[in-house]
């Protein structure tokens, strides 16, 4: 046993210090980024915010809404091949630059991925997603996927430490998904005691990835636009959101009416709800590591996007970053023991 004594930080432990700036208005801030990738020859331009590949969030409808503003959706893995072909028939061509096909690592998942690409070869992004990205089997799967799809952009995760980021990039991934335990409907930290505070995970993993020419996605833990800004400030190239994109018109999930109020169901992909839906229940050897909650219905996601992008532009203005790309360089975090004043609730 060993203890690391340097303190690891989450979003709630810091704020961003304002800096003198020449920017006059938020409208001068450019949130778009251009990326080229470590393995794939594809070039990407857009606002690097992503909807999570959860079945209530990473939906085709969400992808259409996010694409309009150049945001990205990792589509959940439960659509059929026919769903995919039907969807792509009625969408503009360049939408394929703003969506990823998600997959797990079982032989069944690999077969389905192959079928999706046979039917829809115009897709460009693959998101290989497992709860624990630390297994040799996962690295081998990433490697095999790179061999099979040499030109596609491969996203792989989740991990939280630099050495594993490097290993996955060298195995063929272009972008590494970072986050174990911070998610809004995640109970991994409670059930297993395993995790890593998200802000420190981003800082350490970004450093490892950028050294090799790869990118990272900060996945999980953002509850406000300010958290999204902190994730970018810490060095995330992309920020993935589950809970913040849940409960919208474009999210899937039952609408629930109670006492004149409307809610939508939202649940973790390893929750009992998800396992019952897709694999017939929680297998005996494992515990569910996700919650099922009801979130207040939030209407069209467009309003939430405005809120997030408005906040992010404002952060950039406070620190003098004319482009999102400059935000990390201009960020100084201060450690704090307070966040917002909660005396009045909205
Ligand atoms: P959020 O933005 O809601 O805080 O976090 C979203 C992320 O939580 C997802 O992208 C995924 O990585 C993670 N997640 C989703 N469902 C589950 C689950 O059931 N268990 C765990 N441990 N993590 C989950």
Q: Is the CB of 46 under 6 A from ligand 1?
A: no
Instruction: Tell me, in angstroms, the distance from the centre of ligand 1 to residue 289's CA.
Output: 9
CA 98 – ligand 1 centroid, Å: 20
CA distance 213 to 233: 18
Structure tokens belonging to residue 74: 């990792």
The residue whose CB lies within 8 Å of the most ligand 1 atoms, and thus the one to mutate among 175, 177, 195, 268, is 268
pTM of the model: 0.98
Q: Is the CB of 220 under 6 A from ligand 1?
A: yes
The DSSP output letter for 28 is: G
Query: Catalytic pick from 120, 127, 186, 222?
Result: 186
Ligand 1, atom 15, lies closest to the CA of 268
127 is catalytic: no
Q: Using an 8 Å Cβ cutoff, are 79 and 245 in contact?
A: no
How many residues comprise the chain? 346
- Residues in Cβ contact with 242 at an 8 Å cutoff, skipping those fewer than 6 apart: 51, 52, 54, 57, 183, 184, 185, 220
Q: For the residues of 209-247, what is the DSSP string, one character each?
A: HHHHT-EEEEES---SHHHHHHHHHHT-SEEEESGGGTT
What CA–CA distances, in Å, run from 95 to 40, 66, 206, 263, 301?
A: 18, 10, 27, 30, 18
**Residue 83 pLDDT:** 98
> Residue 252: CB within 6 Å of ligand 1?
no
Q: Who's near 254: CB < 8 A, 6+ residues apart?
A: 264, 265
> How many Cβ atoms are within 10 Å of 80's Cβ, its own excluded?
11
Report whether residue 240 contacts ligand 1, using a CB cutoff of 6 Å.
Answer: yes
In this structure, the residue with its CA closest to atom 24 of ligand 1 is 186
Strand partners, 296: 263
Per-residue tens of pLDDT for the chain, all 346 residues: 999 999 999 999 999 999 998 988 888 999 999 999 999 999 999 999 999 999 999 999 999 999 999 999 999 999 999 999 999 998 999 999 999 999 999 999 999 999 999 999 999 999 999 999 999 999 999 999 999 999 999 999 999 999 999 999 999 999 999 999 999 999 999 999 999 999 999 999 999 999 999 999 999 999 999 999 999 999 999 999 999 999 999 999 889 999 999 999 999 999 999 999 998 887 777 778 899 999 999 999 999 999 999 999 999 999 999 999 999 999 999 999 999 999 997 6
Residue nearest to atom 4 of ligand 1 (CA): 183
């Amino acid at each position: 046993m060993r203890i690391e004594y340097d303190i690891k930080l989450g979003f709630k432990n810091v704020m961003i210090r304002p800096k003198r700036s020449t920017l006059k208005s938020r409208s001068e801030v450019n949130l778009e980024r251009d990326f080229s990738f470590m393995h794939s020859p594809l070039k990407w331009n857009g606002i690097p915010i992503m909807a999570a590949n959860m079945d209530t969030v990473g939906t085709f409808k969400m992808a259409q809404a996010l694409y309009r503003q150049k945001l990205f959706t990792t589509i959940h893995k439960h659509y059929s091949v026919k769903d995919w072909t039907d969807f792509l028939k009625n969408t503009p061509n360049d939408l394929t630059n703003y969506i990823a096909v998600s997959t797990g690592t079982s032989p069944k998942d690999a077969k389905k991925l192959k079928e999706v690409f046979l039917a829809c070869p115009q897709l460009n992004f693959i998101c290989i997603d497992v709860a624990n990205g630390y297994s040799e089997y996962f690295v081998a799967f990433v490697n095999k996927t790179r061999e099979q799809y040499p030109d596609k952009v491969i996203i792989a995760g989740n991990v939280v430490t630099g050495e594993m980021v490097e290993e996955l990039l060298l195995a063929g991934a272009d972008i590494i998904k970072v986050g174990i335990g911070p998610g809004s409907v995640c109970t991994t930290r409670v059930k297993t005691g395993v995790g890593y505070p998200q802000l420190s995970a981003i800082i350490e993993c970004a450093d490892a990835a950028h050294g090799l020419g790869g990118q990272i996605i900060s996945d999980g833990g953002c509850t406000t636009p300010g958290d999204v800004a902190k994730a970018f400030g810490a060095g995330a190239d992309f920020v993935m959101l589950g809970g913040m994109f849940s409960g919208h018109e474009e999210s899937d999930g039952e609408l629930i009416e109670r006492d004149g109020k409307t809610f939508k169901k939202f649940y973790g992909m390893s929750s009992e709800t998800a396992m019952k839906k897709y694999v017939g229940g929680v297998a005996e050897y494992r515990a569910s590591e996700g919650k099922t909650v009801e979130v207040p219905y939030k209407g069209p996601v467009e309003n939430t996007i405005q809120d997030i992008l408005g906040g992010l532009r404002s952060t950039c203005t406070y620190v003098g970053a004319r482009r999102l790309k400059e935000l990390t360089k201009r960020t100084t975090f201060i450690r704090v023991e307070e966040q917002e004043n909660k005396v009045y609730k909205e």
